[in-house]
Structure 1
Amino acid sequence: MMIFGGVGARWNNLLRGEGLASKAMRGGALTLISFGGSQVLRLASNLILTRLLFPEAFGLMALVYVFMQGLNNFSDVGITPAIMQSKRGDDPKFLDTAWTIQIARGFILWMVTFVLAAPAAHFFDAPLLTQLLPAIGITLFIAAFNPTRLDTANRHLNFGRLTIIELVTQIGALIVAIIAAYILQSVWALVISGILGAVVQLILLTRFLPGHRNRLAWDKTASVELINFGKWVFLSTAVGFFLSQGDKIILGKYLQLETLGIYNIGFFLASFPLLLGGTVTRRILIPIYRERPPKGSRSNFLKLRKMRILLSFVLLSALSVVALWSGPIIELLYDPRYRLAGGILVMIACAQLPQVIVLTYDQAALATGDTRRFFVLTLARTVLLIAGLWLGVEIGGLAGALVGHGLAMVAVYPVVVWLARHQGTWDPLHDFLFAALGFALMGLALWLNQDHVAAVFALNSP
């Protein structure tokens, strides 16, 4: 009884305590709830919209998402990681200066959308982008007014209200998107939903999230720190745009809109596990790396090893479910028009398996303020991915591009080791274990879904 009582007391302390481990556990649980709820809502929206719109519309929506993601990336000047890792992260002058920079950046980027609209429409031969991009661009300006209380909550692993706000915002945006899609039967439903979602999120964050009330201000010392930190983060996120959207840019030029739309369905489902991993590492690992740097002691390294192994196991398990059951998943959720997405889904999931290792390392650089090495890693991943996709699609069409994607993610590993060794986080045991498991699962997934994979290879090369 004493043993069980001791275990119960320990768990109670972890769940309710104010220590770093307790906050990390609660933060991880809330992040899983937030992410899980968000992805369920996204899936519900996707399933409903595929019945209201045609595959060609999803191709156009994929191009819209390219620019939405790009504009979001180019609006990131490192405000959130700067606040999370800086010693002045709770200083009102520092926070107000960061907020002022954020607003200025958001307005500039909105103006940029007017400049990009016509060239984008011409490049993709999609005239509607001329109107869509400036309309979508206003969401960047709206989001720029989000209070730094959002970043403070992440800094201190306080995710309770933030989780509720995120889910309420997404539910509202989902309802608007469905109603608008039913009435308009066009991609404009996405634009309307995005704008109203940004407004609702701003109102909820401002009204219900506790913390410092921002005002326009400028502190020279704070601005120097933010700019010095943010210049490499900005370059990383700018390059990261091509990392996350390079496939859409290249395939959007080679594939018909119908095929691109089906590809986007497969990519949407395959992205769930890595989106979860990225969310958890950004929210949880940066504060932990900051408080317990792995270089500080062997004890810190071993504790972080346990956390990395647990995170990698969860991500690999989630990717495995997607990869192994990709064919049945598509057949269950979508009508026969989207059957090709089954083969695309398993190939993308397999290509992403090597990234499980990368996710557990790259946030350590941000936690220590080493944004230059973080940029080098992002640049290497991007260059290799674009090269793999472009050469692959030239040689073997869509199937070649997907194979090139996977090979590129393997080729970046030496750069990952370089960064991890400098941060004192490199763990060969972790990497070998999950590389072996990943390749074994990859082979099994491709074998189980060979008919769906063969359909992708049967497509004509461009």
Structure 2
Amino acid sequence: MSAILTRIGALASGQGLAQRAFRGSALTVLGFGSMQAIRLGSNLILTRLLFPEVFGLMALIMVIIQGLNNFSDVGITPAIMQSKRGDDQSYLNTAFTMQVMRGIGLWIACCIFAYPAARFYEIPELVWYLPIAGLTTIIHGLQTTRVESANRHLQMGRLTLVEVLAALFSVIVTIALSAVMRSAWALVIGLVLGAIIRVLLAARMLPGTPNRLHWDRSAVTELVSFGKWIFPSTVVGFALSQGDKAILGKYLTLGELGIYNIAFFFASFPVLLGQAVITKVMIPVYRDAAGAEAENRFRQLRKVRAGLTAGFLLLTFFMAAIGPALVQLLYDARYDNAGPMVTMIACATIPALIGLTYDQAALASGNSRGYFWLTLVRAALFLTFFLVGVRQAGIAGGLAGQALATIAAYPLIVRLARRHKVWDPLHDLLFGAIGAGLAAVLLL
């Protein structure tokens, strides 16, 4: 027992790559878990104040806003995390200026797309909801680059506190508005106020020099050069993050979409947590490991990767197993159909966990082009398989298509991983077999 405690203490206090990755992962898990717990508490209250149709409508609003965000992302966050100039204030201020300009452009796009979206989904209220909800794009554009700097150096403590406090205050505001307004406007206004709270907390609590508007041509050139492939990557990445809701929004009623969104909240927790951890941790890990001797580097990466994959697989199995009972326990009869969906959605995400860490190696080395081509193929496969599945067998068919699309994209993931000398076939074989076994147990 003392040996285990000693080992944990070394991981918690050491300055080596594995130790810093452990602390960064642990704090990200703590922050993400806390925010999901806050969201769960919020959902339990809001589902009693509002109808399922309101959650379906909000899911569509977020799909559109996220889509516009993806269609304009130039990769400022990964650029700062991997660049040699990532601590240069001139570089950071230029990135901030580009971010502000992007936020204003996104809000204008929200206003332009409001009417076509309302016509496509046959929901007239979107004409008013979208421009107001779209104000969050301007607000997020004003966020300090000290957030990226904290991620760059795996300094997650205060950043985690900012995110948790922002989530808590936002939920309190949204619940208060919902109790008074009892409509989707409460969620829309709460979304905007929540964005303001997060930006203000980050500016006040994170250490570093405040940003100002600045334009450094050499910084712009580097950011654009890196981001020219991140931009199309996030465009097609929209299909991976929001494609299911965009497609189901055309085939389901708002109430059914709201129920699916509740199930997705539970089932997707492990894979979304995995993406949050890997996005924040793996670029610095790959960057710092690059100078190590080859054998030692591979051993360090294997240790980090195996720990992450094992944890996320275990969490997925746990969530899929207890999800149906949890839905019945926490929600009223209107949401009973969400129970079986939790298990199906969780099983569909298991294949994605096996190769979750590899694409960040491309970004860490500046290979945004390779990252784009991988994302493009994954998105094309996902849209095709999910749409065909939904048309043939409803939600269950779509989720089966999602899993098959992930498996079909695996050879390209291997190709990218081998190019950057990070592929670990033993890891993939072992955890692939474990994941298949877990999915079989859950579905049977």
TM-score (norm 1): 0.92
Match of 1:173 among 170, 173, 178: 170
Question: Where in structure 1 are there 5+ consecutive unaligned residues?
Answer: 448-462
Answering whether residue 351 of structure 2 is matched by residue 349 of structure 1, we say no
Hey, what's the Cα distance between the residues in 1 that align with 2:163 and 2:257?
Answer: 29
Return the offset for 1:26.
2.1
Question: Where in structure 2 are there 5+ consecutive unaligned residues?
Answer: none
Return the offset for 1:25.
2.5
Is 1:266–1:345's contact at 8 Å kept on the other side of the alignment? yes
SS at match of 1:77: coil
Hey, what's the Cα distance between the residues in 2 that align with 1:8 and 1:322?
Answer: 28
SS at match of 1:325: helix
Return the offset for 1:23.
2.6
CA 277–260 in structure 1, closer or farther in 2 if over 3 Å, else same: same
2:271 counterpart residue number: 274
1:359 counterpart residue number: 356
Return the offset for 1:13.
4.8
Is 1:324–1:346's contact at 8 Å kept on the other side of the alignment? yes
Answering whether residue 384 of structure 2 is matched by residue 387 of structure 1, we say yes
Match of 2:105 among 103, 108, 111: 108
What is the identity, as a one-letter code, of the residue corresponding to 2:134? G
CA 159–68 in structure 1, closer or farther in 2 if over 3 Å, else same: same
Is 1:294–1:425's contact at 8 Å kept on the other side of the alignment? no
What is the identity, as a one-letter code, of the residue corresponding to 1:305? R
Q: Per-residue displacement from partner, 1:406-450 (whole Å, max 9, x unpaired)?
A: 211211111111111111111111111111111111111112xxx
Q: Percent identity?
A: 51
Structure-to-structure mapping, 1:132-281, within 5 angstroms? 132-281=129-278
CA 295–380 in structure 1, closer or farther in 2 if over 3 Å, else same: farther
Is 2:18–2:304's contact at 8 Å kept on the other side of the alignment? no
Structure 1 vs Structure 2 CA RMSD? 1.7
Hey, what's the Cα distance between the residues in 1 that align with 2:398 and 2:83?
Answer: 40
What is the identity, as a one-letter code, of the residue corresponding to 1:214? N
Between the two proteins, the alignment pairs up a number of residues equal to 444
What is the identity, as a one-letter code, of the residue corresponding to 1:122? R
Hey, what's the Cα distance between the residues in 2 that align with 1:348 and 1:203?
Answer: 35
Match of 2:127 among 102, 121, 130: 130
1:373 counterpart residue number: 370
2:74 counterpart residue number: 77
1:320 counterpart residue number: 317
1:453 counterpart residue number: none
1:457 counterpart residue number: none
Q: Per-residue displacement from partner, 1:119-159 (whole Å, max 9, x unpaired)?
A: 00111111111111111111111111111111111101111
1:36 counterpart residue number: 33
The 10-residue stretch of structure 1 (105-114 or 72-81) with the greater mean CA deviation from structure 2: 72-81
Hey, what's the Cα distance between the residues in 1 that align with 2:273 and 2:45?
Answer: 23
SS at match of 1:198: helix
Match of 1:303 among 300, 305, 316: 300
CA 294–49 in structure 1, closer or farther in 2 if over 3 Å, else same: farther
SS at match of 1:359: coil
Is 2:68–2:109's contact at 8 Å kept on the other side of the alignment? no
Return the offset for 1:24.
2.3
What is the identity, as a one-letter code, of the residue corresponding to 2:119? H
The 10-residue stretch of structure 1 (16-25 or 435-444) with the greater mean CA deviation from structure 2: 16-25
CA 87–342 in structure 1, closer or farther in 2 if over 3 Å, else same: same
The 10-residue stretch of structure 1 (415-424 or 319-328) with the greater mean CA deviation from structure 2: 319-328
Return the offset for 1:293.
2.8
Match of 1:443 among 418, 432, 440: 440
What is the identity, as a one-letter code, of the residue corresponding to 2:320? A
